[in-house]
């Protein structure tokens, strides 16, 4: 597979290493310095692009890939408020987009169990639920994309929650998400249910970026030939 890497930072470099080990070809690597070079690539040269950049860069890059007919796998977080525009443009251009707030298999199982647990726990109002995420100090978006997917999964089963709040004082009508930035932490997510008597948690700790990269490569192998917007539930059939 001929892969164009849009974004060549921590994730882009990890994906390059794992993709080459699987026999894929990297046809280009783009950074913020030479972002304009995306215009030089065509669908004849590139089977799929993998985009891990920054919240501000993701949507313009996605729209350019749609215009060029290049299927694009996106891991960048912090742009989902623009999903309606992206959805409209994807349909207009008959584009191909695969997005996941987190590509690791473990976190996608976590999403699945999170919903199962929320559905059960909602019946026990003595347990207060909250989400916590811890990431490295370089992270630009807050809360993490993964924490927002977790929050959506909880709120689907908690009609009494009006929405989420980040790093705010406790309000039982809202789902609290605590965000911490600490050193080089790769990514930790916790869902905590606490009563007066006890606490129980779902806890996921990423030990490296290889799980994210491996999932993004699987998505890149799966996407070409499909039209529309897809995510990990489509790939993993969860
Ligand atoms: N969905 C997932 O599984 C994961 C998502 N992420 C997300 O991926 C994004 C990138 O993460 P990292 O690689 O750790 O960041 P990083 O800061 O190490 O690398 C970002 C790269 O994007 C480049 N870039 C910025 N603007 C660009 C543009 N307009 N065109 C081309 N390249 C551009 C930078 O030059 C740099 O090479 C973040 O939003 C992060 O939250 C990170 C890990 C896993
Ligand atoms: O910025 C990161 O590093 C990560 N971002 C994603 C997110 O926002 O959830 C996924 C992972 O937690 C690492």
User: What CATH code is carried by the domain that includes residue 19?
Assistant: 3.40.50.720
Indicate which ligand has the atom closest to the C-alpha of 11. Answer: 1
Do 23 and 84 lie in one domain? The reply is yes
Whole-number mean pLDDT of the chain? Answer: 97
- pTM, rounded to two decimals: 0.97
The answer to whether residue 135 is catalytic is yes
Do 76 and 148 lie in one domain? The reply is no
Do 11 and 76 lie in one domain? The reply is yes
State how far the Cα of 74 lies from the Cα of 211, in Å rounded to an integer: 15
Do 82 and 57 lie in one domain? The reply is yes
Give yes or no for residue 238 having a pLDDT over 80. no
Do 128 and 89 lie in one domain? The reply is no
Do 83 and 201 lie in one domain? The reply is no
Residue from 102, 111, 214 whose mutation best tests the ligand 2 pocket (most atoms within 8 A of CB): 102
Q: Residue 203: how many CA atoms within 13 Å on its side-chain side? A: 5
State how far the Cα of 209 lies from the Cα of 211, in Å rounded to an integer: 6
- Which residues are part of a known binding site? 33, 75-77, 100-103, 136, 145-146
Atom of ligand 2 nearest to the CA of 189: 12
User: Interface pTM (ipTM) of the complex?
Assistant: 0.99
State how far the Cα of 74 lies from the Cα of 2, in Å rounded to an integer: 16
Residue from 15, 145, 209 whose mutation best tests the ligand 2 pocket (most atoms within 8 A of CB): 145
Do 87 and 125 lie in one domain? The reply is no
Do 230 and 144 lie in one domain? The reply is no
Q: Within its chain, how far is the Cα of 129 from the centroid?
A: 22
State how far the Cα of 177 lies from the Cα of 175, in Å rounded to an integer: 7
Tell me how far the alpha carbon of residue 104 lies from the centroid of ligand 1, in angstroms: 16
User: Into how many domains does the chain fold?
Assistant: 2
pLDDT, tens only, 78-111: 999 999 999 999 999 999 999 999 999 999 999 9
Q: What is the pLDDT of residue 205?
A: 98
Atom of ligand 1 nearest to the CA of 216: 3
Is the minimum distance from the CB of 104 to ligand 2 under 6 angstroms?
no
Indicate which ligand has the atom closest to the C-alpha of 142. Answer: 2
CB 141 within 8 A of CB 77: yes
Nearest to 203 by CA among 161, 150, 149: 150
Catalytic residue, from 135, 161, 189, 204: name it. 135
Which domain does 37 fall in, by range? 2-103+210-236
CATH number at residue 149: 3.30.360.10
Do 93 and 138 lie in one domain? The reply is no
Atom of ligand 1 nearest to the CA of 8: 37
Q: What is the pLDDT of residue 175?
A: 98
First to last CA, the chain: 26
Do 153 and 217 lie in one domain? The reply is no
pLDDT, tens only, 149-190: 999 999 999 999 999 999 999 899 999 999 999 999 999 999
Do 110 and 181 lie in one domain? The reply is yes
Do 116 and 177 lie in one domain? The reply is yes
């Amino acid at each position: 597979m001929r892969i164009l890497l849009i974004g060549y930072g921590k994730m882009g470099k990890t994906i390059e290493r794992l993709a080459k080990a699987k026999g894929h070809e990297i046809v280009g690597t783009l950074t913020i310095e030479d972002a304009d070079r995306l215009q030089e690539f065509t669908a004849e040269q590139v089977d799929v692009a993998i985009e891990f950049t920054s919240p501000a860069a993701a949507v313009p890059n996605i729209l350019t890939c749609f215009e060029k007919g290049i299927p694009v796998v996106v891991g960048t977080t912090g742009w989902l408020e623009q999903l309606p525009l992206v959805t409209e443009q994807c349909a207009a251009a008959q584009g191909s987009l695969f997005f996941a707030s987190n590509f690791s298999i473990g976190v996608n199982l976590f999403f699945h169990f999170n919903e199962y647990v929320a559905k059960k726990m909602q019946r026990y109002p003595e347990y207060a639920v909250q989400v916590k995420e811890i990431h490295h100090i370089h992270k630009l978006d807050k809360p993490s994309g993964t924490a927002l997917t977790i929050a959506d999964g909880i709120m689907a089963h908690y009609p009494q929650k009006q929405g989420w709040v980040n790093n705010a004082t406790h309000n039982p009508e809202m789902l609290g998400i605590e965000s911490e930035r600490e050193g080089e932490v790769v990514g930790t997510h916790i869902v905590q249910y606490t009563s007066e008597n006890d606490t129980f948690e779902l806890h996921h700790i990423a030990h490296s970026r290889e799980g994210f990269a491996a999932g993004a490569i699987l998505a890149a192998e799966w996407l070409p030939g499909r039209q529309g917007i897809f995510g990990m539930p489509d790939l993993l059939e969860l």
